[in-house]
Amino acid sequence: MNKDQVIEAIKKLKKESPKRKFSQSVDLIVALKDLDFKKSEQQVDFFVTLHHDTGKKRKICALVGAELMDEAKKVFDEAIMVDNFGQFTKQKAKKLANDNDFFIAQATIMTKVAATFGRYLGVRGKMPNPKAGCVVPPRGANLKALYDRLQKTIKVTARKVPLIQLRIGMESMDDEQVADNIIYLYDQLIHHLPGEQNNIQNVFVKLTMSKPVKLEK
């Protein structure tokens, strides 16, 4: 994928799209082909940390024990100690799940996290995931570095429908930064497909309220 071509496509979108009263997101759309989702190894499900954030702050909640509570309160948008899990009713747990983009958890209390919040986080794909670095030891973890990295991390999935659509940036961002994110994500996606580029049918970029522009693979 050629960076200059991607930048030109972004410029075209901005030029031809009517001005809105808000900064539109820039979405990458990838249509897949020749995948059998009945086979787990052909499903797409991975995390990628982009070169730049997507222009929208991620809200992150920490579920921790006493060992990490003081630092977690300084770093994360919300921090809940295991001793307080019992205060979460079904309604409060649902609200917590909806209000946060990522959850990190202390490894030593994961069974309690699963028991209290699993049914609410699981269906939303928000359970603390070791693949994203979201399960941390009770000592020695750099929580600030994790918080900063998650601001640039997105989850890429296609398990039922052969289509991926993700916010990759914002209209207000520098075109080069958005293009960097697009190219990096595309490269990572190819490496997670069994047939690599042969499993890509089409690639588009669009603004929230614009028509898509096709990119050359």
Angstrom distance (rounded) from CA 74 to CA 81? 14
Is residue 23's pLDDT more than 90?
A: no
Name the pTM for this structure. Answer: 0.89
| 135: confidence class by pLDDT, cuts 50, 70, 90 | very high
CA 108 distance to own-chain centroid: 25
Q: Of 14 and 65, which is predicted with more confidence?
A: 65
Angstrom distance (rounded) from CA 137 to CA 143? 10
> Could you give the percent of the chain with pLDDT greater than 90?
91
Angstrom distance (rounded) from CA 36 to CA 42? 6
Domain ranges of the chain: 3-55+152-215, 60-150
For 188-208, write each residue's pLDDT tens digit.
999 999 999 999 999 999 999
In the numeric block, the tokens 């930064």 are attached to 177
Instruction: Note the pLDDT of residue 92.
Output: 97
Instruction: Note the pLDDT of residue 217.
Output: 81
Q: Which of 204, 207, 211, 206 is nearest to 30 (CA)?
A: 204
Angstrom distance (rounded) from CA 46 to CA 97? 20
Query: What is the CATH T-level fold of the domain 3-55+152-215, as seen in this structure?
Result: Ribulose 1,5 Bisphosphate Carboxylase/Oxygenase (3.30.190)
Angstrom distance (rounded) from CA 137 to CA 103? 14
Instruction: Note the pLDDT of residue 20.
Output: 86
Instruction: Note the pLDDT of residue 8.
Output: 94
Instruction: Note the pLDDT of residue 165.
Output: 96
Q: What is the CATH number of domain 60-150?
A: 3.40.50.790
Which DSSP symbol is given to 43? S
Q: Which of 56, 52, 73 is nearest to 64 (CA)?
A: 73
Could you tell me the CA-to-CA distances from 160 to 29, 99, 189, 200 in Å, in that order? 16, 26, 16, 16
Mean pLDDT computed over 137-146:
95
